[in-house]
Amino acid sequence: MREAREFADVQGLSEHADLFARAALVAQNPGGFDDLEDLDQDQKDAIRYEMTNKWSVPLRLYFTIALCSIGAAVQVRAAL
């Protein structure tokens, strides 16, 4: 946790140092986040939701990705 806080400080994100420290704890053991005392219940619920609903993103995001992919393909084709 100390290293995560130092990283946040060095990068000018001191106000988010606690968040970086908690994220580092979760990253060390993603399956054991329920046992972490540093996380409150809302944070644990949010992580659980993200783990069980990996593809629950807005439809606009899928549209944006598809549109950018088509644009990149057209750009590559035009360069040939």
Q: What is the 3-state secondary structure (H, E, C) of the chain?
A: CHHHHHHHHHCCCHHHHHHHHHHHHHHHCHHHHHHCCCCCHHHHHHHHHHHHCCCCCCHHHHHHHHHHHHHHHHHHHHHC
Instruction: Report percent pLDDT > 90 for the chain.
Output: 78
Q: For residue 67, how many C-alpha atoms fall within 13 Å in the half-sphere facing its CB?
A: 6
pTM flag (> 0.75): no
What phi, psi does 26 have (nearest 5°)?
A: -65, -40
Mean pLDDT of each 10-residue bin along the chain, 80 residues long: 92 95 93 91 94 90 96 80
The amino acid at residue 38 is: D
- Domain range for 61 is 2-79
- Looking at the structure of the chain, the number of domains it has is 1
